[in-house]
Amino acid sequence: MASVDTRRTGWALQWRLGGSRTGARQTLTFSTIGADDPDSVYELMTVAKRLVESRGHDMTRDQLEAAVLGDPTQPVGTPTFSAWATAWIEKRRMAGDAQSDTLDDYERILKKWAVPYLGAKLLHEITHDTVEEWSAWMRTRRHRGEPLSVNSRKTTRTILHTCLGAAVPKWIPANPAAQPSGARRRNGPDDDGEPFEPIFLTSDEVKLILRHCPPPIRDLVFTAVHTGLRLGELLVLRRKDVELAGDDPHIQVSRALKRDRTVGRPKSRRSRRLVTISPGLCRVLAARLKNLKPDDLVFPAARGGMMWEAGLRSRYWLPAVAAAQRCAEHPPPLPEKAATGPRRRWRLDEVSTCACTTRLHRVPRFHDLRHTHASMCIEEGWSAKRIQERLGHATYAMTMDRYGHLRHGGDSERLGKFDEALGSLG
């Protein structure tokens, strides 16, 4: 059997070629240095151990590394999923059919959530049942101590579906991640009845949050809920992107902040758009634009430069939401005072539990401001096509999938007009 030597910086997998005592000693090291998640490195090592044992130890170190770590220069015959995933990402980079940060996300997600389970399997060994077993395994995964969210699992399965689909028909006859013909449409990534639920805030809830927003983000939050812009679009907005003069004041969305903290084009062609703005927002922005140069940021950090999404959420947004959840009449218990020094502040989870309507009862994400804007447009009678163009969705179907259910309601009144037009049987 292959053995595992635990080291300070990871693990070393050792075996003898062919499984005999006289076989050449082989060692493949799995290092945790620089790894975001050491547990994923350990899982990858266990996958390699199972693979070399299933092949009767008849694999060299280089062959195992190619199979598990995905070196696309060394696959022999049908590639393993790990090798194919790496080659697929590189092929898309060379073709330039997706932005670099998008492919970085695909690569990171596949390595973290798909390769540990599927990486050692040859492509033709991955069946529909294999993918369903992987989906069940994904339900047991945890990220930062919490179960992996339904949305994360759905995103991972979508990327896996695209990756395996690209292997058809050269390596496999059909995509094993696709639903079989005639199968019931799944509600979520594992058909577990847990659809992704955005939060649509009421106007009173928005006002409550704005009341507790500190000055560095108050205008930013106001702009987000009045335009539906993504946070990554707002943080890189410049003075020259805002036009307040004339009969049609608007914001020109032409840039976005990427996950790697670079600034580039928005994620799709439709994301590059003009977003009209209301008179109230014009007044707010006019005050911010005074004395700004064309390339100055509209919403800079407190000390200048660009705000980062993670810092904005942890430093400003989440504390503002927690403050809005605390009732003035029924505040949470005060934290215990230390023997020395001042009393500590309330934590984010220390909020009121009363049913008072004067406090916030939900915990929205910043992105829910975008969902809230869409819901308000629907309430005002905007068509789904106009909302698609305003939000910059790539397709009309995406807009309807996310917000189509909000357009229901008022059916009794509409159907009553049928009776007026057609009469009754009485």
Q: How confident is the model at residue 409 (pLDDT cuts 50, 70, 90)?
A: low
The full DSSP string for 44-93 is: HHHHHHHHHHHTTT---HHHHHHHHH--TTS--SSPBHHHHHHHHHHHHH
Is 90 exceeded by the pLDDT of residue 198?
no
| Greater model confidence, 277 or 263 | 277
Residue 192, pLDDT score: 46
Q: How many whole angstroms separate alpha carbon 324 and alpha carbon 44?
A: 44
Is 60 exceeded by the pLDDT of residue 412?
no
Residue 184, pLDDT score: 47
Q: Identify the top-confidence range among 99-103, 263-267, 310-314.
A: 310-314
Q: How confident is the model at residue 69 (pLDDT cuts 50, 70, 90)?
A: low
Query: Would you state the structure tokens that stand for residue 87, as one six-digit string?
Result: 């080659």
For tokens 């989870």, name the residue.
349
Residue 222, pLDDT score: 96
Residue 369, pLDDT score: 96
Of residues 119, 101, 99, 100, the one with CA closest to residue 160: 119
Beta strands 242-243 and 250-253: pairing type? antiparallel
Domain range 203-330+346-405, CATH architecture: Orthogonal Bundle (1.10)
Residue 323, pLDDT score: 96
Q: How confident is the model at residue 277 (pLDDT cuts 50, 70, 90)?
A: very high
Three-class DSSP category at 419: helix
| Greater model confidence, 365 or 192 | 365
Q: How confident is the model at residue 211 (pLDDT cuts 50, 70, 90)?
A: very high
Distance, C-alpha 396 to centroid of its chain? 20
Counts for the chain of helices (H) and strands (E), in that order: 17, 10
Query: Would you state the structure tokens that stand for residue 255, as one six-digit string?
Result: 């840039």
Q: 43-76 burial string, b = 16+ CB within 10 Å, else e?
A: bbbebbbebbeeeebebebebbbbbbbbbbeebe
Q: What is the CA radius of gyration of the chain?
A: 27
Residue 425, pLDDT score: 58
Minimum mean pLDDT range among 92-101, 178-187, 213-222, 327-336: 178-187
Q: 383-407 burial string, b = 16+ CB within 10 Å, else e?
A: ebeebbbbbbbeeeeebbebbeeee
Q: Is the peptide bond before 342 cis (omega within 30 degrees of 0)?
A: no
Cα maximum dimension of the chain:
96
Q: Give how far Cα 256 sits from Cα of 93, 259, 313, Å.
A: 20, 10, 17
Is 60 exceeded by the pLDDT of residue 236?
yes
Residue 35, pLDDT score: 72
**Amino acid code (one letter) for 350:** E
Distance, C-alpha 177 to centroid of its chain? 20
Q: How many whole angstroms separate alpha carbon 392 and alpha carbon 43?
A: 39
Distance, C-alpha 30 to centroid of its chain? 28
Q: Contact, 305 vs 311, CB < 8 A?
A: no
Q: For the residues 91-97, what does the mean pLDDT come to?
A: 82
305: left (phi over 0), alpha (psi -120 to 50) or beta: left
Q: How many whole angstroms separate alpha carbon 17 and alpha carbon 59?
A: 6
Percent of the chain residues past pLDDT 70, beyond the cut: 88
Q: How confident is the model at residue 71 (pLDDT cuts 50, 70, 90)?
A: very low
Q: How many whole angstroms separate alpha carbon 379 and alpha carbon 386?
A: 13
Q: Identify the top-confidence range among 146-160, 289-303, 387-401.
A: 289-303
| Greater model confidence, 408 or 263 | 263
Q: How confident is the model at residue 195 (pLDDT cuts 50, 70, 90)?
A: very low
Q: For the residues 236-258, what does the mean pLDDT come to?
A: 93
Q: Contact, 100 vs 89, CB < 8 A?
A: no
380: left (phi over 0), alpha (psi -120 to 50) or beta: alpha
Mean pLDDT across the chain, nearest whole number? 84
Minimum mean pLDDT range among 248-257, 319-328, 401-410: 401-410
Q: For the residues 254-275, what does the mean pLDDT come to?
A: 84
Q: For the residues 268-277, what does the mean pLDDT come to?
A: 88
Please, which residues have CB within 8 angstroms of residue 189's CB and are 6 or more apart in sequence? 135, 138, 150, 153, 154, 156, 157
Q: How many whole angstroms separate alpha carbon 54 and alpha carbon 46?
A: 12
Which residue spans of the chain are classified as CATH 1.10.443.10?
Answer: 203-330+346-405
Q: Contact, 105 vs 259, CB < 8 A?
A: yes
Is 50 exceeded by the pLDDT of residue 188?
no
The full DSSP string for 328-339 is: SSSPPPPPPPPS
Is 90 exceeded by the pLDDT of residue 62?
no
Residue 19, pLDDT score: 82
- Give the count of alpha carbons within 13 A of 88, CB side only: 25
